[in-house]
Amino acid sequence: MSNTAVEYARANEAKFRDEFFEFLRIQTISTDAAFAGNIQQGAEWVAARMKGIGIGKVDVVPTTGHPIVCGEWAGAGKDKPTVLFYAHYDVQPADPLERWDSPPFEPTLRDGKIYARGVVDDKIGVYACLKAVESFLKTGGNLPVNMKFLFEGEEETGSPSALEFLRSHKERVGCDVTVICDGSGPPESPTVALSCRGLVGAEVTVTGPPQDIHSGSVGGLVENPVHTASRIIASFHDSSGRILIPGFYDGVPELSPEEKRLLPGMQKEYLKGLSASLGDFAEWGDPDVSPVERIWVRPTCDVNGIYGGYQGYGMKTIIPSKAGFKVTMRLAPGQDPDTIAEAFTAHVKRFDSESTRVEVEIRQKAWPATSDPESKAVKALIQATRAGFGKEPAIVRMGGTVPIAGTLLRETGIAPVFLAVGTGGLIHSPNEFMYDDYFITAIEMVIAFLAELGAFS
């Protein structure tokens, strides 16, 4: 069954690529309300393709935010497992536009790469799933497993509607296996991730005088909110990058003896792959912890943006009335986002005073999630990755966050597995790309995974 499905996919590669480019042109930016119509268009585009390939039960479900596209195909029989397949169709903003070498929403094939916003994060996850299903249904009329589909439009904003949706539509997510199809990497270093980190996102606002004031009149007399914001930021780390917020490392797990044994070899290959996809970068961080541990299983606290005062050309001699900054904290597997949010808030509020008011707003929270390495689903995932890349994958952990992964784990009790079919780089950056040679590989990996999982049952 899988061989004929692969043959079908390869025979239709040019057609599939053209259709994928159509998908990439839809500006499904979830972080900006101005693109709400584009998000709706993207959801309906996905739903139409699902219906067109023979998934009978398809709905675009409204939420308090952006819609979720659901579907179900149950023709494999009761003796086969039901697989819930998740990916997201929303993308990050393309800013700064001037840094793109070609328009971000006009997919461009150049030097063996497809350049477009969302090409690997995560429209290929959605599309590879649909084309794998099509390849099975058009050649044999059947799938190796029963399937449910959950395509989200809010992943890039932290999945704020996910919990309410899951609790209100439990029948949509009842399954035996949960697959998170998100993530990417370089082709020379295939990986299978066993976990993703959690997330806390916050915005800190520091307010001083009621309006901007002449610095010659009040400089040295009133506290400057930009200075206060700077002191708060400086308090997060020591000079080596160790986080100084009390309680921030609570719940961080130790690596298993096996992972520690394999770490040096994995680290070399992983960092080599990062350099290949991101370009050369200067390594920095806690010297007591290895680089891959810092990005896989240690928490982080990163200021993503800072504002305050005059930003125009030339000088303006003022004491600003307000300053602020945005922070994201990645959480290690085993950590509780509520606990970390409380620790962060308590630390920042210590800078509140009679002269400057400090406020903290927690905007995002996501739980980490970890796979069961001994499960049939992980074994099928390893087989599929081996088949796709023709080499043994490294078993790693994911430094990023898939907000719904931890929510699904907590709501269903089923440990997810992470199927990363994107092969490229510069995610969230200008000139995001996917290697064109691995476009069809992404579809073949989903075909192989479903076939392996069906054979295991």
Residue 457 is predicted with a pLDDT of: 63
Residue 296 is predicted with a pLDDT of: 84
Q: pLDDT confidence of 219, banded at 50, 70, 90?
A: confident
pLDDT at position 185 over 90 = no
Look over the chain and give the mean of its residue pLDDT values, rounded to a whole number: 93
Residue 260 is predicted with a pLDDT of: 73
pLDDT at position 1 over 80 = no
Which domains does the chain carry?
2-196+368-456 (3.40.630.10), 198-253+297-366 (3.30.70.360)
Mean predicted confidence (pLDDT) in 144-164: 95
Mean predicted confidence (pLDDT) in 8-31: 98
Q: What is the pLDDT of residues 229-287, one digit of tens each?
A: 999 999 999 999 999 999 999 989 887 777 777 666 667 777 777 777 667 778 888 98
Residue 34 is predicted with a pLDDT of: 97
Q: Output phi, psi for 380, to 5 deg.
A: -65, -35
Reduced to 3 DSSP states, what percent helix, strand and coil does the chain have, rounded to the nearest 5?
Answer: 40, 25, 35
For residues 4 and 113, what is the distance between their CA atoms, to the nearest angstrom?
Answer: 27
Residue 265 is predicted with a pLDDT of: 66
Mean predicted confidence (pLDDT) in 148-163: 94
Mean predicted confidence (pLDDT) in 58-64: 97
Give 425's strand partners.
433
| Length of the chain, in residues | 457
Q: What is the pLDDT of residues 109-152, one digit of tens each?
A: 999 999 999 999 999 999 999 999 999 999 989 999 999 999 99
195 three-state secondary structure: strand
Residue 457 near residue 81, CB atoms below 8 Å? yes
Residue 281 is predicted with a pLDDT of: 79
Q: Which residue has the higher pLDDT, 36 or 457?
A: 36
Residue 272 is predicted with a pLDDT of: 74
182 three-state secondary structure: coil
Residue 120 is predicted with a pLDDT of: 96
**pLDDT > 70: what percent of the chain?**
98
Apex 346 CA angle, 328 and 212, nearest 5: 75
Q: Would you state the torsion angle of the CA atoms of residues 406, 408, 414, 418, taken in this order, to the nearest 10 degrees?
A: -60
Count the Cβ atoms, other than its own, within 10 Å of residue 184: 26
Residue 29 is predicted with a pLDDT of: 98
For residues 3 and 18, what is the distance between their CA atoms, to the nearest angstrom?
Answer: 23
Q: Would you state the torsion angle of the CA atoms of residues 408, 410, 416, 422, taken in this order, to the nearest 10 degrees?
A: 50
Residue 191 is predicted with a pLDDT of: 85
Q: What is the DSSP letter of 120?
A: I
Q: What is the pLDDT of residues 331-384, one digit of tens each?
A: 998 899 999 999 999 999 999 999 999 999 999 999 999 998 889 999 999 999
Range list of H helices, 285-355: 291-296, 337-349
Contacts of 77 (CB under 8 A, 6+ apart): 146
